[in-house]
Chain A
Amino acid sequence: MNATAAAVRDNPAGNVELGPLPDAPHSATLQADAVVVGSGAGGAVVAATLAEAGWDVLVLEEGPMVRTDDIRRWSMAERLVRLYRDSGLSAAAGVPPVALPMGRCVGGTTTVNSGTCFPTPGAVLDAWARSGLHALSPPAFTPLLREVEEVIGVRQIGRDIMGGNARMAEAGARNAGLHGALLHRNERGCIGSGQCPMGCPQGAKQDMRMTYLPRAAQAGARILAGVRVRSLDHDGGTMRGVTAERVDVSGATLRGSRITVRAPVVVLSAGAVYTPVLLLRAGLGGAHVGRHLAVHPTTEAAGFVAERVEGWRGVQQSYGIHPEPGVTIEATFPPGGTALRYLPLSGPALKELMARWAHAVLLGVMVVDGGNGRVRLAPGGTPLVTYRLGDAEAGRLVRGLAHTARVLRAAGAREVYTPLRGLPVLAAGDDPSVIECARGRDLALAAFHPLGTARMAAREADGPVDPQGRVRGARGLLVADASLLPGAPGVNPQVTIMALALHVARELVQAGAPARRRLS
């Protein structure tokens, strides 16, 4: 197992892209200074940082390797099944249930997110610092955010690729008297394909396969795809490594597979649902593990205007509007048939709207939430995710939806279609304020930012992970992913996650030479 992935420069946008990976062994015992579980926003940053510091790093990713050429070749249904965990059908149980799609492929959710980037808001960093997390104060953390933004190519969307959906959102915000701006994204060479959540067919989005993973590979890190970690191996809390198994694209274990990794340092970067699952299975981390799940619940609305918008042309998530604190409206036109779900009708009425699809304007609403969810272990060791929509979140959502309807109206939409049970359409004469009377349970919700389930806290009483990313009570076990966030930042969190991972990795490097070498 000496082979490392090649970083190549052959994708359509002319970017560096992680090359083909060596096949993972069916069964083997491997050694490393550090094993990183997961290759998404957290794991990739940790892998690159440790490998470039001379550590022998092994990255284990449960999902398959996917290259830009694959994305271009696959149908939308194939992409949904191959890039998303559970074909995108993951959900948090509750009233209402919350659809919770998560990436499951090399690069993790960064491969299938919208690419929207925000720095952590200063007020959020201030609050985290006041809780005793001094490394997250604005002066200490902002340089990490800037470094990440530089690596992943964050820049504001250009007007040449913003697309018609963004233009309508911009006009609507201006006419409604609301502040808005084109979003920032991580891309180099974007042509506005509008396909981000199904993988970039241009290889322009600077997800982990284009940035930190090639760096990790070039520094000698080994990256294995199709390997699922079953358990954390430890002696009384001192890490010995992990036990894993080969899986196929459907997640089925290859018969008899068993991969044992001996490593004194284990970094959990499996995301806010699966990192706590591994901790709970191992009985590590204490009572906070799996609690405080925040998701940034979202809902959506559609309007139809007189002019042709052709919202599928241009950047998929493009324009942000901030009508009140804790509420963000984002112009979002999902690719393919996934966008049609914005239309709350069936039968001939739905087809009437489809025939006017070129005139559709789609907006999503995202709100900050208070960590009302939880990840537990279900029988069989799988995750059971629950989420309780609180009154505060429900209020923000229905007010946000009313603001969205006003923006659509101000953009020229006569009818506005909503996801509210019993109120599918707001007709031309209806006052959008009527939406504010709706109950949270009548919304159709999705969420794309699960976080906070193994949160960093200054005091043991407040969270299972210390300010250096170390799991309390476990020697050599760290967390570096969305689980770590002390609370919901209220903005798309990928840059925050990467900067936190960078902080954790740098602290680890600073702590000393790789432990395996030191011990040997």
Chain B
Amino acid sequence: MLPRALQRTLAAIADAVVPPGGAFPEGAADVDAAGALLRTWSEMQPAARRSLAAMLVALDAAALLRTGRRWHALPLPRRVQLCDALEQRGGAVQRSAFLGVKTLVLVGFAADPRVQQRLGTEGWPPQLIRP
């Protein structure tokens, strides 16, 4: 399993990418977007596990360098700022790591039926249709 410290990092990033409230109530934590990813951990290939862990380590290092604190120790507004900073001003490695984790978080987030209702994608794709 992903080390507990990195699980906390993942959850803190997920919560910042998609926080609760705003345009609609559900955030990544409400739908356990990080958990959806972690539940597939046992099936991930070793290289994928290493990649995910390395990305989270790189992102924690970026947080420490830029703020002096790790992700889970930062207040939500500061974490959102950090997300924007990494995506818009981050170096190649940090930016790439952030985009990789963000995509995985969004996959987990958008898989929840409540979120699908907010996006409008509920009920799609249609069930079995025989020509």
Contact = CB atoms under 8 A, between A and B. Distances in A.
A189 interface: yes
Interface stretch (B2-10, B64-72, B100-108): B100-108
Nearest to B77: A347
A351 B126 contact: no
B40 A77 contact: yes
Nearest to A13: B131
A205 B22 CA distance: 39
A344 B124 contact: no
Given A12-B128, A340-B110, A86 B40 contact: no
Interface in A293-314: 310, 312-313
A195 B125 contact: yes
A86 B42 contact: no
Residue picked from B16, B42, B125, B128, most chain A C-beta under 10 Å: B125
B111 A77 contact: yes
A312 B47 contact: no
A390 interface: no
B37 interface: yes
Interface in B80-116: 80, 83-84, 87-90, 92-93, 95-96, 99-100, 102-103, 105-111
A425 B48 CA distance: 31
B18 A249 contact: no
Contacts of B90: 421
Interface residues of B, number: 54
B56 to A, nearest CB: 12
Given A75-B36, A89-B48, A337 B43 contact: no
Contacts of B44: 81, 86-87, 250
A337 B111 contact: yes
A357 B40 contact: no
Contacts of B108: 77, 337
Interface in A197-254: 201-202, 249-252
B102 A346 contact: yes
B52 interface: yes
A191 interface: yes
Contact of B110 (A337, A358, A441): A337
Contacts of A54: none
A350 B48 contact: no
Contacts of A14: 130-131
A82 B43 contact: yes
B76 to A, nearest CB: 8
A372 interface: no
Given A251-B46, A337-B109, A77 B37 contact: yes
Interface residues of A, number: 59
A444 interface: yes
B106 A85 contact: no
Contacts of A347: 16-19, 22, 80, 83-84
Interface string B10-24: 000000111101111
A344 B36 contact: no
Contacts, number: 167
A191 B103 contact: no
Interface string B26-52: 000000000011011011111110011
Contact of A341 (B37, B52, B88, B106): B106
**Majority DSSP secondary structure for residues of B touching A:** helix
Interface string B117-131: 011110011101111
Nearest to A249: B43
Contact of A250 (B46, B83, B111): B46
Interface stretch (A90-98, A137-145, A468-476): A90-98
A348 interface: yes
A336 interface: yes
A357 B37 CA distance: 23
A355 B118 CA distance: 6
B125 A201 contact: yes
A95 B94 CA distance: 12
A352 interface: yes
A341 B99 contact: yes
A78 B124 contact: no
A350 B130 contact: no
Contacts of A191: 126, 129
Given A77-B111, A201-B125, A357 B43 contact: no
A194 B130 contact: no
A351 B48 contact: no
Contact of A85 (B21, B45, B131): B45
A345 interface: yes
A362 interface: no
A21 interface: no
22 contacts: A75-B36, A76-B110, A78-B43, A81-B40, A89-B48, A95-B92, A193-B124, A194-B125, A337-B105, A341-B102, A341-B103, A346-B16, A346-B80, A347-B16, A347-B18, A347-B80, A347-B83, A348-B23, A354-B23, A354-B24, A358-B119, A444-B96
Given A89-B51, A91-B96, A193-B126, 6 more contacts: A77-B36, A341-B103, A347-B80, A347-B83, A351-B19, A424-B88
